Amino acid sequence: MKSEAAPGLALLDVPEPEIGINDVLIKVRKAGICGTDLHIEGWDAWAAATVPVPMVIGHEFVGEVVAVGDNVNDFHPGDLVSGEGHVVCGRCRNCMAGRRHLCASTSGVGVDRPGAFAEYIALPMANVWHHRDGVDPEVAAIFDPLGNAVHTALAFKTLGEDVLITGAGPIGLMATAVVRHAGARHVVVSDPNPYRLELARTMGATVAVDPRATALADVRRELGMDEGFDVGLEMSGQGAALRDMLANMAHGGGIAMLGIPSEEIAVDWNQIVFNGLTVKGIYGREMYETWYMMSVMLQSGLDITPVLTHRFHYTEHERAFAAARGERAAKVLIDWS
């Protein structure tokens, strides 16, 4: 947990969460370290301005139901579940219209309310996802970030299209497998990290390149893509990557942006206007269409297990976070058994 307003985390005893009549108490089995958790652990400007202290952090997890509130009928002790990390108000215009992922009053699990890096977590029943029988618990633990990848990757039609992914972090890697599974023709991944480029090839990339060494225009020529990429997935948050993407898009193409820039990015808006590009911001998952899509794609053969590179016990949390910050890791899991 974040026990004080300073860098680092502490492993402490806290009271077991209490549940209300509409809540579910879950015993956590495995949890994933997210980039958000790294920001909180490092206590950067965003974390200092956002996270109240003390706070149990973490929002990617899988666990078993141990107790339910009096109004809960759909979940039972022993069910294998994960949780949607965005708790919404349920009453605003977007929530009432079924667009809960656009709720302006969202509360973040492990950010604004106690999270999943603990033996138990309590969530509203509307935020609990019941996994199908036979799901890999390690994959179930990262449904939250997989949902980010699926939401981004399927923002535009990819069947038969050429896709550019800038940024081969865990979500970019999972998006690579998703668009390949969804029928993309060529999938090009751009990232300066050689370890993650090799992972991108494992996940199904046609070509994975270091943009400092290989120009995307050259990759296009080698693949016979005269008109550019049909779909761009910007996962890096880097200005150079976005500008490179804009310069290599086909007319009428679509760009889905999930990467969060640390500073303002200047772009040539003429490229967007005169090339008729659509740029869409992506935040979280569509509740719960994205979760459904994740489940059925896994049933039909989607394999994201290569992105799971490190596993640690919760007592080794410092080593786990160090690995997640390193250049030779993708998704890091923490075991809460």
Q: Which two tokens stand for residue 134?
A: 């036979």
Catalytic residue among 39, 59, 86, 310: 39
Contact status, residue 150 vs residue 293, Cβ threshold 8 Å: yes
Catalytic residue among 36, 106, 176, 206: 36
Active site residue 130: no
Calculate the alpha carbon distances from 252 to 46, 144, 220, 246, 255 in Å: 35, 30, 17, 12, 10
Q: Evaluate the CA torsion angle 236, 242, 243, 249 in order and state its sign.
A: positive
**Spatial separation of the C-alpha atoms in residues 263 and 270, rounded to whole Å:** 21
Which residues partner with 82 through β-bridges? 129
Contact status, residue 149 vs residue 178, Cβ threshold 8 Å: yes
DSSP labels for 291-322? HHHHHHHHHTT---GGGEEEEEEGGGHHHHHH
Which residues partner with 109 through β-bridges? 113
**Spatial separation of the C-alpha atoms in residues 194 and 189, rounded to whole Å:** 12
Neighbours of 331 (CB within 10 A): 28
Which among 98, 85, 95, 150 is positioned nearest to 282, based on CA atoms?
A: 150
Active site residue 101: no
Torsional class of 237: left (φ above 0), alpha (ψ -120 to 50), beta (otherwise): left
DSSP labels for 175-235? HHHHHHHTT-S-EEEE-S-HHHHHHHHHTT-SEEE-TTTS-HHHHHHHHT-SS-EEEEEE-
Which among 317, 298, 319 is positioned nearest to 137, based on CA atoms?
A: 298
Map residue 47 onto helix, strand or coil: helix
Q: Where in the sequence numbering do the catalytic residues fall?
A: 36, 39
